[in-house]
Every structure is written in structure tokens, then in C-alpha cells.
């Protein structure tokens, strides 16, 4: 484990606990196992500094045993690893995501959200339980597939991109790597994730793992006189990285390009922001439910919008309301593979960034439509008519300074706001920004240390 990781503080995948507290350890084990998994470090405070006093491994083992007895069912983990931080000893424990639903013996079901373990209940609990009971499909092997079906060219490309992303080459054997990333199971048989990522034609085993692109003439699928309303239809096949590139290239080729003249030069403007389109495609490929047969990812291009429809409802505890702040992967091995490949820029921030670029380019924010067996993202190409700002209305002097700062710098963070208003408490300034968000003047992007604020379109 890299000690510099601790300086970032607790987060969705990192928990810091000062002492061998069995209750706190149990809560974190359950929360990580029910969500994306994560790293638990004991002997470190929230600021990444070692706690006072020695931490004995025997006491930690006793605490872990006690924590195990508080979890139902027991969370399967590895062994504690010793970590030296500024000359002091701490211990880390990697907790994998579980295909089971875990609770504490007192009945609470927890998940990891941002930097906290939080309880779930009601409909959220039902969705999480449903996601868990489907099993871990991407880790299953398929009859007839062998490692010889993997493409050497695709594997070599992945190894190069992975080394660039991690800043270091993999020093083990290729078989070790394939097992580590979940491309093969313990007996060496290719998994669904491995076939989707590394074979030339995974549709031989998973015909549903393809993409259909359709371009319609108008705003509806229907044409004149009962005829089909589309002018182009393409079926895309191949491994997931090639699917992403093929889908992007076809949308790019069909996007209208406008232009504005600035000074003596013409500046081209695309129908949709590039990042938003790629993110919608990547999300669909990463998070679709590959168990669903007879359903493929659909990209529908209308005259006024672009729809990307992914088979399978929202995974786990994710809802439309918390989609910006919470993260849960139905296919974590596929997500990790595409991240190492470079198709995902930063884990967990794609939706935030998609909303941000749509707003910044003067368009409506994306629409999200979640149904039991599908999830759709809609991007609109019409630019919202800009209205003169009304910053001076219903704002105090601190908020006015923040808005002026955003006008000059495009965004503002909590730290920058504190620098603008020295002597004002952090809580007062937080409430000022929250008030502007509630009034619809600002849009909050990100969470925790990555939080910043931008102007909403038309403000």
C-alpha cells in the first residue's frame, strides 16, 4: 500500500480507524462488502497521521475475530498487512466487494457512501438485495471457452495501456495477471469479463454483448406513410474496447457541426460535447446487465437528442436521486479493466463531469430514465437561451463576491470562498453556497475534497 494514499483522507474506497475497535471494524467490513469493496487501515487518524501509542497485531487479530462475530454472514477478507507510516506501525486490510448481502447482528445493513458507513432500508435495501442475489455473472466461466480464445494483440495492447496508467509494468506472469484482474477463474477458465475484454468476437458466447446504432430523421421513430423513420442502422460487434471506439466513431461521423466566427477565424462547435457522448457510451458498456439475453445496448440519434439505452436497471442501491453521489458497479472487473485501459478517465466522476460539460456548453443537463430492465441517458443538442444574470437579487454580500469570482474563474471551491471572506466561519460560507444551489443559481459538482460550484445555464 502506498502511504501517500492516506493523505487523501477517508473516501468511498478507503476507511481509516484509529484503534482496534471491533464494532467500528465490523461496520466498515459490512459497508465495504455491500458496496464496491475498499481498503481498511487501522492505526491512522482521518488526517493520515499515525495514532499515539503502539498498535499490537495480537490485539488487532482479536478485534477482527470479534468483528467477524458481529457480521452476518461473515465478510471474507485477506490478511492484515503491516504498513509503516512516519516510523509508526499501522495495518491495512483489503475488503472485496461481496456477492452476498451482509448485515450486522443488530439487523443494520450498511453501505459505504463517500467517507461514511451509512444504513440502508426500504426500497433502497430491496434494490441492493436484488442486485446481490443475481450473483456475480461477470466472474462466471462459459462452456467451450478457453484461454486460447484470448487475442494476443488485444492482451498486448492492454498491457501497454495498463503500464502507462499505473506508471509501472506488471512483473508477474500473464497467467497471474489474468487471475488478478478476474479474466480467468482459479482453474484458468476464461470468465465473462475476460471474454468481453480480450477476445476478438465475444458475441460467439454472448450475442447480447453488442451495440445497435440507429439514426432517425426526426424526433420520433416513425416515418411517413407507416415506413421506418430511420436513415441509418448499424450493428457493432467485437470486444468492449472496440465497441466503445466503434460506437464513438459512428456517432462522431453523424454529429452535426456548427460554426461561429470569432475575430477573423471560424470556430467549429459540435452538436454534443465529446466527453458527454463518450461517457454515456462507456457507462452503458460498463454497467449493462450482461445476463439479459435478447437485449443490446441501443444508441438512438434523433434530430433533437441522443439516447443511449443500456439493458438492466440501475445496480445495487443506486437511484436517480443519488446517482451523482453514490457509486456501485454491477461489473467491477469490467470497469477496472476499462479504467486500466484508459477508457475511463477517473473512477466515480463521470456522471458529475457529464452534467458539468452539458451545462458549460449551454445545453440542458442530461436526462436519466431508470426502469426495472433498462437505463437510458438522453443528451439534448438544443442550446438553452442565455438570460442576463440576476446576481444582485436576493443575495448577500458574501454570495455576491462568490458569484463575481465564478464569473471570472468559471468555478469556485469552498477553500477559495474562505479565502475571499476571511474571518467568516466555514459553516456560514457553506450555507451561503448551499442557499445559492437551492435557489437554482449554482450547480454543485463533485463531493468531499473534489466539490466545486459553477453557474447554472441562464444565471
Across-strand partners of 17? Answer: 42
- Would you call 37 exposed, middle or buried from its count of C-beta atoms within 10 A (0-12, 13-18, 19+)? middle
Provide the pairing of β-strand 38-42 with 14-17: parallel
Same domain, residue pair 345 and 330: yes
**pLDDT tens string 285-324:** 999 999 999 899 999 999 999 999 999 888 877 888 888 8
pLDDT category, 384, cuts 50, 70, 90?
low
pLDDT tens track for 22-36? 999 999 999 999 988
In a domain, 392, yes or no: no
Q: Residue 175 sits in a domain of what CATH number?
A: 3.30.565.60
Same domain, 343 and 440: no
**Same domain for 81 and 132?**
no
- Does the pLDDT of residue 226 top 70, yes or no? no
Contacts for 152-156 with beta carbons within 8 Å, 24 or more apart?
A: 154/197, 154/198, 154/199, 154/200, 154/239, 154/241, 155/198
The answer to whether residues 74 and 68 touch, using CB atoms and an 8 Å cutoff, is yes
Residue 389 lies in a domain: no
In a domain, 9, yes or no: yes
Question: pLDDT digits over 119-153, tens only?
Answer: 998 888 888 887 776 658 899 999 899 999 999 99
* Listed residues 75, 91, 119: the one ending a domain: 119
In a shared domain, residues 361 and 268: yes
Whole-number Å distance between alpha carbons of 189 and 112: 32
Q: Strand pairing of 103-104 and 71-72? A: antiparallel
Q: Where are the beta strands (DSSP E) in 319-366?
A: none
Q: Are 273 and 336 within one domain?
A: yes
Lowest-pLDDT range of 176-180, 368-372, 415-419, 448-452: 448-452
Q: Give how many domains the chain has, as a whole number.
A: 3
pLDDT at 324: 81
Is 102 in contact with 109 (CB distance < 8 Å)? Answer: yes
Whether the Cβ atoms of residue 271 and residue 363 lie closer than 8 Å to each other: no
> Distance of CA 337 to CAs 27, 66, 281, 421, Å?
29, 35, 16, 44
Distance, in Å, from the CA atom of 15 to the CA atom of 46, rounded to the nearest integer, reads 8
User: Is residue 292 assigned to a domain?
Assistant: yes
Q: Is 201's pLDDT higher than 70?
A: yes
> Is 159 a member of any domain?
yes
- Whether 205 and 85 map to the same domain: the answer is no
- Does residue 234 fall inside a structural domain? yes
pLDDT 10s digits, 249-267? 999 999 977 654 454 454 5
Are the C-beta atoms of residues 95 and 78 closer than 8 Å to each other?
A: no
CA dihedral 49, 54, 58, 63 (to 10 degrees): -50
Neighbours of 338 (CB within 10 A): 21
Whether residues 416 and 348 share a domain: the answer is no
Residue 265 within any structural domain of the chain: yes
pLDDT at 266: 46
Rounded Cα distance, 1 and 22, in Å = 22
Q: Report how far residue 450's alpha carbon sits from residue 413's, in angstroms, rounded to the nearest whole number.
A: 8
**What range does the domain containing 283 cover?**
121-384
Whether 212 and 236 map to the same domain: the answer is yes
Look at residues 90, 119, 148 and tell me which one is the last residue of a structural domain.
Answer: 119
Helix (H, G, I), strand (E, B) or coil at 23: helix
In this structure, is residue 23 part of a structural domain?
yes
The CATH code of the domain that includes 412 is 1.10.10.10
Residues 148 and 29 in one domain: no
**pLDDT (mean) for 232-247:** 96
Phi, psi of 388 (to 5 degrees): -60, 140
| Domain-ending residue, one of 119, 149, 164 | 119
Of the two residues 101 and 30, the one the predictor is more confident about is: 30
Q: Would the pTM of this model clear 0.75, i.e. be above it?
A: no
Contacts 24+ apart (CB under 8 A), 158-164: 158/197, 158/198, 158/337, 158/340, 158/341, 161/340, 161/341, 161/342, 162/340, 162/341, 164/342
Question: Do residues 198 and 325 both lie within one domain?
Answer: yes
Q: How many CA atoms lie within 13 A of 53 on its CB side?
A: 8
More confident residue, 217 or 391: 217
Answer yes or no: do 136 and 74 share one domain.
Answer: no
User: What gap in Å lies between CA 365 and CA 380, rounded to an integer?
Assistant: 8
Q: Are residues 137 and 113 in the same domain?
A: no
pLDDT at 264: 47
pLDDT confidence of residue 159:
92
pLDDT above 70 coverage of the chain, percent: 91
CATH number reported for the structural domain that contains residue 97 in this entry: 3.30.950.30
CB 130 within 8 A of CB 182: no
Amino acid at each position: 500500500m502506498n502511504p501517500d494514499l492516506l493523505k487523501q483522507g477517508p473516501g468511498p474506497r478507503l476507511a481509516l480507524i484509529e484503534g482496534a475497535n471491533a464494532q467500528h471494524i465490523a461496520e466498515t467490513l459490512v459497508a465495504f462488502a455491500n458496496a464496491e469493496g475498499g481498503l481498511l487501515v487501522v492505526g491512522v487518524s482521518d488526517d493520515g497521521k499515525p495514532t499515539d501509542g503502539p498498535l499490537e497485531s495480537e490485539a488487532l487479530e482479536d478485534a477482527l475475530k470479534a468483528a467477524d462475530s458481529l457480521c452476518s454472514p461473515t465478510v471474507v477478507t485477506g490478511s492484515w498487512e503491516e504498513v509503516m507510516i512516519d516510523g509508526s506501525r499501522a495495518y491495512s486490510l483489503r475488503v472485496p466487494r461481496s456477492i452476498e448481502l451482509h448485515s450486522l447482528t443488530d439487523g443494520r445493513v450498511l453501505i459505504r457512501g463517500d467517507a461514511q458507513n451509512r444504513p440502508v432500508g426500504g426500497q433502497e435495501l430491496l434494490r441492493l438485495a436484488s442486485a446481490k442475489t443475481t450473483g456475480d455473472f461477470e466472474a462466471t466461466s462459459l462452456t467451450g471457452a478457453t484461454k486460447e480464445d484470448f487475442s494476443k494483440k488485444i492482451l498486448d495492447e492492454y498491457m501497454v495501456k495498463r503500464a502507462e496508467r499505473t506508471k509501472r509494468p506488471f512483473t508477474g506472469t500473464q497467467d497471474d495477471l489474468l487471475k488478478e484482474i478476474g479474466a480467468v477463474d482459479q482453474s484458468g477458465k476464461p470468465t465473462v469479463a475476460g471474454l468481453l475484454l480480450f477476445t476478438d468476437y465475444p458475441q460467439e458466447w454472448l450475442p447480447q454483448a453488442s451495440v445497435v446504432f440507429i439514426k432517425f430523421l426526426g424526433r420520433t421513430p416513425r416515418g411517413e406513410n407507416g415506413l421506418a423513420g430511420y436513415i441509418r442502422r448499424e450493428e457493432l460487434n467485437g470486444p468492449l474496447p472496440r465497441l466503445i471506439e466503434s460506437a464513438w466513431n459512428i456517432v462522431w461521423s453523424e454529429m452535426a457541426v456548427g460554426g461561429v466566427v470569432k475575430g477573423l477565424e471560424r470556430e467549429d462547435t459540435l452538436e454534443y460535447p465529446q466527453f458527454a457522448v463518450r461517457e454515456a457510451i462507456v457507462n452503458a458498456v460498463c454497467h449493462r446487465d450482461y445476463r439479459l439475453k435478447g437485449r443490446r445496448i441501443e444508441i438512438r440519434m434523433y434530430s433533437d437528442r441522443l439516447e443511449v439505452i443500456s439493458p438492466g436497471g440501475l445496480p445495487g442501491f443506486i437511484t436517480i436521486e443519488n446517482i451523482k453521489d453514490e457509486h456501485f458497479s454491477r461489473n467491477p472487473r469490467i470497469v477496472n479493466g476499462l479504467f486500466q485501459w484508459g477508457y475511463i478517465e477517473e473512477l466515480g466522476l463521470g456522471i458529475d463531469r457529464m452534467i458539468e460539460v452539458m451545462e458549460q456548453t449551454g445545453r440542458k443537463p442530461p436526462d436519466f430514465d431508470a426502469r426495472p430492465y433498462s437505463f437510458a441517458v438522453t443528451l439534448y443538442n438544443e442550446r438553452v437561451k442565455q438570460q442576463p444574470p440576476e446576481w444582485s437579487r436576493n443575495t448577500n454580500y458574501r454570495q455576491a463576491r462568490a458569484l463575481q469570482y465564478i464569473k471570472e474563474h468559471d468555478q469556485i471551491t469552498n477553500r477559495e470562498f474562505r479565502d475571499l471572506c476571511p474571518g467568516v466561519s466555514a459553516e456560514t460560507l457553506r450555507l451561503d453556497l448551499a442557499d445559492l444551489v437551492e435557489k437554482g443559481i449554482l450547480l454543485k459538482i463533485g463531493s468531499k475534497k473534489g466539490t466545486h460550484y459553477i453557474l447554472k445555464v441562464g444565471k
